[in-house]
Each structure stands twice: as structure tokens, then as C-alpha cells.
Structure 1
């Protein structure tokens, strides 16, 4: 006989020395988890997340070190008909008086009427770090709700970057938490149905959870080479549970079948290692290679997801080849305890003994496929293709306010805000970095650019005191906000961006290096990175 495969040799050693294998696995998981926490997590910075021309434009804006506090808005509109100006003014004054008393409010601006006179806007400037404004905005929302109760004849609602970001975080956070909370009980239920025994169902879950814990620690260490994003941990958990259970399931199933046929525990483990263990290795390498393809995108988000996925798959494969055989050898026939009576009769492995009652469930399920394998293959492939068809229209994007249902209070308020004040919706940012001595020339060029845009129906007229032009303290960076009345992911918004890049900006900024970027924002403090699209050209 030739040299046995490494999967068999690993499994045999683990089965012969179960306590050593289990102890080494526990130490490995503990060292990875504790070591990762001790090393600390390195998160991706704005520079890491900068993609293409839009990313470079955002870096120019960041380089200006602008003081951009978080801004909220209280929108006052009629419930029907025309706006009662007296009642609206009283509600605005009440709003200002109440909100000035709230800790975290830096200032409350003067009420600003819409062009058609059907809305009144009260701007609110928040104090503190703008990045944490969404975590501190709830007291303002609560006070606005009290204003609404005091003025029931009007619609008084708060909307802005922090409010929308909070709604977005709550929605996505609930989705991730729901997936994370459901993954464990659903997985355990499926395994109980598959094995008909609680210990047999628990072993794959235990291995998957330990693999996730080790991979979390390793990913924290890896973040010092490839910065992590806020979705990495969730992806590690979901993928780790999937592959950890998957790799263990077939291994445990095969070992139980061989043991039911009368083989010794060691022989059953070896056969499982030679068959299912080989499949685990092949599958693991296939997943690792496919996930490594994400690194070719040269994007911080994809790279962090690739590293996290590769690590958890590699750890799950290692656990399936080492500690799993040790657990099976140590448990022996206890792996089939305690049994779930009905499920056990349906799923128990055949022993081949005379008079044994054959299970009926799985043969009945497999009977059509065994009778007509070709037809089964065609139907199965057809169903898989039908399920995969929506992927043909897949569009990669960062989560944004467009992902919130329009029926939510935040988005209904946002729609009313942009309808009354178009310049508060989607906006393009023209960022110019030039020598300080050219600052006056740049301002004049940006003012001209704003005038050209105001005459174009693809852009929204500026509200208040004219174009929004900011100049950094060192006069090297100038930024112009150019609003468009269309939602950020619409064709009209895209056309307005291209027109700004290709026609308006080159004409106004000839000889100056500038960058254009688009952001869906209800205020200057709303997140711009998830919604940017821009270019940088020498003009």
C-alpha cells in the first residue's frame, strides 16, 4: 500500500490521541481570540476607502480640514391645502425655543421659507463630533415630536443627515442582528432533522462556533495588514457557521454510517477522513481560491471580506481534519444520543442486520432521482439557474438612504424636504486644490460654475444666500456644492454629474485641477463615501 493521504494520517493521530487533539484545538482557538483582541483592530480609513476619482475628490475635501458640524432640519408643512404662515411661524419659534435647551445643539438658525411658500425650514447645528451625530440625535427627535403634539394642525418633522443615518443604521443593524441570531437556532434545527440525535447535531455547531471565534481573532491580527471594515465580523460569523457546519456534517454522517456497519471507531474515522475529509479539503481550497479573487478588486471592503472569509474557511477545514475526528473517537456511540424518536427512525443509518426495518423517508425522496437521473439533473439545473437569474442584474453599491423603504418616516420626511427645498437633496461637490495665491481666482471660477449650473434644468437653484463655497484655512482647498433635484441613483442625477464633469466644470475651471463627486445627503454632514462618483481632470 502507498502512503496514506494526509487527511487520514491527521484523523488517525487525532482519534488515537483525542485529548491531545482537543486540548491543542482549545489552545489554538484561545490564543487566536485573545491574541487578536490584545493586538487591536485596525479599521479602514477614508484613504483606504477612497475609490477612483470620487475617492480622490473626497480626499481633497478631507485635506481641507473643514469644520463641518452635523446639521439637522425641522420641516414644517401643512397637512392639506396652503400653509398657514402665522401658525407655521409659531411652530418654528416653539421649535427654536425648545431645541436651544437641548444638550448637543450648538445653534438654531432662522426659519427659511420655501420658494413656493408651502414649507418652512428650521436648520439646527449640532455640537460635538459629526461622525457620532446619529448616535446623539434622538433627544432632538423627541423634542421635535413634542412640538408636533403642540401643533397638531401642522406637520412638524425632523430630517437631516444624522436622522437618516440613524434610520439606516437601525435598519441594516436589525437585518444583520436578525441573520446572526437566526443562524444558530435554524442551523441546529436543520442538523437535528438530519441526524435525529442531539449530540450529533451539536458537534458541527460546536466546531463552527469555535472556528468563528478563532477566525475573529486572526482577522483582527490580519487587519494590521489589510484594514477591516464594519461588515467583516458579520461575514465571518455567517460564512463560518455555513462552512463549519457543512464540512462537519458530511464527516459525521459518513463516520456514523461506517460505525453502524460494524466497523471499529478508528476504522470508521479513517474511512470518513479518506472520503469526506478529502471532499472537505477540496471544497475548502475551492472556496479560498474563489474568495481570494476579491483581492483583485483592489478595494478595502472587498479585501477585508476576502481575508475574513479565507481565514474562517481555513480554520473550519483545519478543525474538521483534526479536532472533529478526536471528538468522534471520544464520543463513540454516544454521538447518537439522545435520540429524537420520530426523527431517529427516519434518519438512522442502516446497520445491515437481518430483519432491520428500512427507513422510508429518504428513499422516498431519492426515488424519483434514481429512476430518472437525467431528467432530475435537467430540472435541478433549471431551478438553480432560475434562482440565480436575479444575479444578472446585480449592482454593487454601498448601503445608502435609497435602501430605506419610502414608507419609513425618515424617507417620507426627506421626500417632502427635497420637494420643498431641492438644494437640500442630492448634491455634487467640486473640490479644487490649488496654490494659496490662486484662491481668489478659484472662488471666482466656482461662482461662475454655480451660475452656469443654476441656468441648467438638471441642477437645483441654490437656497438662501447663493452658492455654497468653502475655502480651507490655508486657502489651498476650495469646495463648491452643486445641487440637483433628482435622487442620487437616478439617470437624471448621473447625467447632471457627467454634464458637470464634461462641460460646465472644464469651461469654468480651465487651468485648475479639480475633482467632482456626487453624494446623496440631506446635509453636509451626511455620509458621502457610500454615494460618491466623480472624476479628476486638469482644467
Structure 2
């Protein structure tokens, strides 16, 4: 069998291969060989999959997680009680009427209140209108009401009511009159997010394409990675629509899928294309260059994708709807991009051959970098490996130090930079009525919550709670039709998600409820609300984090051990990646918790990190860090397997991958950094964390720490105990083994 029987000759007029016949020695190469021999089937199959998946997504839609599915502990049980109690599915809204000079008894103030009630009632879209709450300084009041119809689509129907309130504001310019609530805020945030995603899509594609043009110096070679990334994203959306029937999705999932689809899709193509170009520059025929790229870079893609999938699957152990949704979405887009890179990409390249370099850009095009800059830099690092390693570790530990003070909480919309009136009104309601905008909700369940004993207990709850100074008016009580559940809403001190609000929840749970309603008439009493959910989420997260970390680190260790047959390489990979992630955590705390650079990134620090971000960052950064680690180690192992001296294998391996790592890192950093321009603080945190982690990983870790540590370890890098000799021997490349060329430089 000749090599051409494995991969057909590209249509470039290249001479037939005269090199020794050799069947690819690993799974990635065999998949690429099949795709190249059946390239029409591979390409058409991929396009049909993307079209069918996109249509499926449009037809099925995505099932979203409910509050009761997303919660934990006490607050989740409260949400379940409320959901089963048969309360009307209503969307509550409030109108804040406020004056710096007038009090609520002033005729002009009362006229504005009356006009507001008449305006909202006149829309025919509201019910249960009430005007009760008055601020402590008597300069503000609230008109409360419920929107008619189901709460789930209230944001689509709130417009006419909002417009009516705006009309009252125009008629009473001396007062502040504005509407807020879940529906109006949802409408405002929805519009903001839509605008953000449209802008990010419009920016990320040309930015990524521009970087790829610089990296390849050819238009067609730059377009291919973008094509794979975007089609992988579209295809994975259809799979998400199906998966959401079993694991309901959260709003953030699709945004993260776009981010990850662009990042890994482009990376996988870069690995393939740059290796194929490198082999062509060395004189290999087109089919031989593609065969080597498939067996080496293709194998790296396969291991990298498996590592990311393994890391993301660790989030299933949290049993949290948000993490499960993020895990499912990311796994789907990474798996789809990996499959595309292993199948359709070699099929396309086998057809294009050297024509992949069509549209060469003068001054940018080159098949292979000379690596002179990396030669000099690595020379400095490897001449003083101990000093280089010490400096790198010191820098990483210094960056990581702030993570010791990390605090997490629910995302706070007060940190959202948005000029929408509903959000401005929300902040003013919080200031005038502490906790009124994000109250604690006490669910009291009994055979009859209207008995004299329970009614008196609920009154005592109200009195004692307000007396603490941590809970405030307005306090409302609502009973369901069956009189089996009473909901007591109490205002909380703080923003609703900060430490003050969380302490108020603990006071309510641990002191007030046990002294008042707990157990009266056999009552079950639970607390929910934004602050309570944050407390319960953090408690559940604290229990699940060790499981997730252990799962991810353990499986990643086993994957590296099997892939490289080295105990030391596997341990080193884990330690280096942990240092990289820890450094990113430290910078995240400094910027988003302590507020350094908050004005530059367009947010207001609330003294915490969004509670789901750190764990998600860990699993995704661990996977992405392994992406580079596997690619570099594969090249180093190739040299080692040929019998090269350790320092030469390390130097050539890192110099040989430097261009790819640099290009891939620049793409990732650029794409992730774009998300810091969004409106949601959680998206800013995620984009910033990913961007700085990739930057740290591609510079301090891969360019300094990895080579210096490997040089210090020398042949010990490849240590494998005898009792592990049964591990399979996996091929790391196609080239025959051999000694380095005479006079080859160590650096």
C-alpha cells in the first residue's frame, strides 16, 4: 500500500509520493484518511448536518430552566412549595413616584398617584392595583399592580403599560415617575443582550478573520477556520434544542457556545493547517504533508477535545441546572468542532491542496516561520532553567494571591451599565425602600395557614423581622386559594445580593422564623428570594467544588498518562494548569471584586464575583490550557521518540509550535476580550477571565515555565513505573524515527 492509498493526491499537480508506504498509526489519522478518500461524502454530510440541526433548533426551540429547577436547598424547597400552591402566574410591577421637595400628602403628589393609577388601569392590561407603601422620608410611594396573562411572556406585553407611565411622567415633570419590575427589566435586559450579541457577532467575525489573515498571509486559509467554527456553532444549537428536553438550558448557554465555538474551532483548524504547511515547506508532497498533519495535529485535536469535554462533564456533579446547561452546551459545541476538524477539514484540504493558499497577502505569506525570535528567547530560558522556573512560579503565585479573598454571589443588576428607565427606577426603589425591589419571600405551608395561631405567628414574624433593622417594610402577606400556603415578602437591607442582604437572610432563618412561625400548627417554613438563593447556591457549591475538582483533575491526569505514557508529564500538566487558572482567578478578584479598572470595563463593582463564574472558569480554562499543553508535548514527544537529546527535543518542539500557539492565543484572547464589552457583568467576568488566562498560559506557562521545568527534569520527564508498562503505546506521528541532523543546535 502506498501513502496515496491513504490520502488521495490533492489536485495541485504535485508529483506522486515516492516515500515509504505507511498506514497512519492513530485514530485521528485513520479518520482523516477515510474523509480524504470519501471527501464528497464528508463535506456534504457535514453541510447536511448543519442545515438539519439549524432547522431543528428553529422548529423545536430551547427549553429553559425554571426557578425551582435552578435552585438549591431551602430556597429550592420554597420555590417548589410556591409552584405547587396554585398562586396565579402573575408578573408584578411597580411605579415609583418620588419628589425631592414634596411629601406624599402634597396635592401635586396625590394627583400624580391618581393619574398613575388611572393610566395603568386604562391600558386594560393590569389587575390588583394598589398604592400602600410610603418611604421612611415620606418623599416616595409605590403603585403596585400585576400584569394580566402569564408571567413567562410578560416582557413581551409590558410595553403599553410602560408607555402609559411615561405619559404620566411627561404630565408631571416636577416629580419622578417610572415603572420597574421583572417584566420591564426583562424587556430592557433582553433588548440589551440582543444588541450585545449582534454587536459581538459583527465584531468577533472580522476581528478573528483579520488575525487569521495575518497568521496565514492567505485569504482562503484564513476563511477555512472561520467556516468550521461558525458551522460547528450552528450545528451544536440544534443539538442543544434536543438536549434541553432532558437538561433545560439557561440564558447564558448560547452566548458561551458562540464564544467557545469560535475559540476551539479556529484553534483546531490552526493546528491542522500550520502543521500541513510546515511539512510542505520541508519538501513533503501534498498527500504526505496532510497525512503527517492528520497523525500529529489531528491527534492533538482529538486529545484536546476529549480533555475539554472531560473537564466540562465535571459540572454535572454540581447537580445545578445552570452548570449542567453550561456543560451540555459547551460539550456539544466542542465535540461538534472536534468532529468537523477531524473529518470535513482533511476532506477539504485533500481537495484544495496548495490552493488553500489562494489570495496570498504580500508581506504576510510564509509557509513556515523561521522561529528566530523564539530561538533567542528559548536560548535565554534554557540556559538558566532554574532561575526561569523560579521567576515564572513567583509571578504566577503573586497574581494568584488575591483569590484567597474571593467572594461569590448572585449577579446584581445594579452593576449593569444600562440607561433603561426600568433599571434606573429599580435602583431608586432600592434606595427609597430598602429590599423592596428584591425582597425575601417566606413560604409558610400548613393544613390551614389562616388559623388564629398561624395568623398571630405571621404577625409576630413581621414585627420581629422589622425590629431587627435588617428587614424592612414593605411587608406583604398573600394566601393561596386553598389556604395551605402563605407568602410573606419582607424587604432586605443591602442590594439583594451583597453580604448585608445575605446576613439578613441568615437572621431571618436562624433567629426570627424559629421564634415565630416554625412548627406552629405543623407549619413548614422556607425562605427564598434572590439573596436566599445566593446563600443556598454558595453552600451547595462549597460542597460540590471538591468533587468537581477531583473529577476533572483525576480524569485529565489519566488521559495525559495514557496519551504520553509518562507519570511525570501527567503530574506536570496538572500542576502547570492549576497555576495558570489560579493566576487568572487572582486577576479576576482584583478587577471585578475590588473594582480595579471598573470604569475602563464599564461596570460598578458590587464586591463579589458572579457565583457560577469561578467554577465554570476552572473547568473551561483547564480544558483550554490542556489544548496547548497537548499540542506542545506531542511535538516534544515526537523528537524524544526519534532519540533526540532532551534539551533539543524540548527546544525544537516548542519552537515548532510557537507560531501556532501564538496565533491561537491571539485569536482566543481577542474573541474572549470582546465579551468584556457586553452589558452583563457575568459576561465581562467570563470574557476577562478567559482572556487573561489564555494570555498567561501562552506566555509565562508555555514559553517559560514548561520548557524550564522539562529541561530540569531531563529524561525523568518520561518516567513510567514498570507496573504501568501495560498502558497502550500510542503513535505520536508519521515520520520515521531517527537522530537529529548533524550539528543540530540545542536551542
Q: Do both share a fold (TM > 0.5)? A: yes
Cross-structure match for 1:516: 526
- Which of 501, 510, 517 is residue 493 of structure 1 equivalent to? 501
Structure 2 vs 1, CA of residues 418 and 29 (structure 1 numbering), >3 Å: closer, same or farther? closer
Structure 2 vs 1, CA of residues 406 and 194 (structure 1 numbering), >3 Å: closer, same or farther? closer
Taking structure 2 as the reference length, what is the TM-score of the superposition?
0.62
Structure with the higher helix share, 1 or 2: 2
- Aligned pairs for 1:25-40 (under 5 A) are 25-35=46-56
Cross-structure match for 2:652: none
Q: How many pairs does the alignment contain?
A: 513
Q: Matches of 2:198 and 2:526 in 1, distance apart?
A: 36
Instruction: For residues 132-185 of structure 1, give each alpha carbon's deviation from its aligned partner in whole angstroms, at most 9, with x where no partner exists.
Output: 233332333333333223222222222333333333434444444443443322
Structure 2 vs 1, CA of residues 532 and 480 (structure 1 numbering), >3 Å: closer, same or farther? farther
Gaps of 5+ in 2: 1-21, 540-747
Helix, strand or coil at the partner of 1:147 = helix
Higher RCO (C-alpha 8 Å, min separation 6) = 1
Structure 2 vs 1, CA of residues 392 and 220 (structure 1 numbering), >3 Å: closer, same or farther? farther
- Aligned pairs for 1:34-49 (under 5 A) are 34-35=55-56, 41-49=62-70
Taking structure 1 as the reference length, what is the TM-score of the superposition?
0.84
Is residue 367 of structure 1 aligned with residue 376 of structure 2? yes
Deviation at 1:111, TM superposition (A): 6.9
Task: Tell which deviates more after alignment, 279-288 or 97-106.
Answer: 97-106
Is the contact made by 1:431 and 1:478 (CA closer than 8 Å) also made in structure 2?
A: yes
Q: Matches of 2:527 and 2:197 in 1, distance apart?
A: 30
Deviation at 1:407, TM superposition (A): 7.6
Instruction: For residues 260-280 of structure 1, give each alpha carbon's deviation from its aligned partner in whole angstroms, at most 9, with x where no partner exists.
Output: 333221101111112111211
Q: Matches of 1:392 and 1:423 in 2, distance apart?
A: 30
Is residue 247 of structure 1 aligned with residue 257 of structure 2? no
Instruction: For residues 306-347 of structure 1, give each alpha carbon's deviation from its aligned partner in whole angstroms, at most 9, with x where no partner exists.
Output: 122112222222221211111111111111110121322xxx
Structure 2 vs 1, CA of residues 299 and 120 (structure 1 numbering), >3 Å: closer, same or farther? closer
Structure 2 vs 1, CA of residues 146 and 381 (structure 1 numbering), >3 Å: closer, same or farther? farther
Helix, strand or coil at the partner of 1:468 = strand
Is residue 155 of structure 1 aligned with residue 167 of structure 2? no
Instruction: For residues 216-264 of structure 1, give each alpha carbon's deviation from its aligned partner in whole angstroms, at most 9, with x where no partner exists.
Output: 2222222233222232222222211211110111101111121233322
Is the contact made by 1:487 and 1:520 (CA closer than 8 Å) also made in structure 2?
A: no
Q: Matches of 1:419 and 1:514 in 2, distance apart?
A: 33
- Aligned pairs for 1:72-221 (under 5 A) are 72-80=93-101, 85-106=106-127, 108-110=129-131, 113-221=134-242
Is residue 14 of structure 1 aligned with residue 35 of structure 2? yes
Helix, strand or coil at the partner of 2:222 = helix
Q: Matches of 2:433 and 2:495 in 1, distance apart?
A: 13
Structure 2 vs 1, CA of residues 172 and 501 (structure 1 numbering), >3 Å: closer, same or farther? same
Cross-structure match for 1:64: 85
Gaps of 5+ in 1: 351-358, 522-527
Task: Tell which deviates more after alignment, 512-521 or 201-210.
Answer: 512-521
Helix, strand or coil at the partner of 2:330 = helix
Structure 2 vs 1, CA of residues 65 and 180 (structure 1 numbering), >3 Å: closer, same or farther? farther
Q: Matches of 1:47 and 1:520 in 2, distance apart?
A: 13
Cross-structure match for 1:452: 464
Task: Tell which deviates more after alignment, 429-438 or 504-513.
Answer: 429-438
Deviation at 1:414, TM superposition (A): 2.9
- Aligned pairs for 1:327-346 (under 5 A) are 327-344=348-365
Deviation at 1:88, TM superposition (A): 1.4
Is the contact made by 2:435 and 2:495 (CA closer than 8 Å) also made in structure 1?
A: no
Helix, strand or coil at the partner of 1:424 = coil
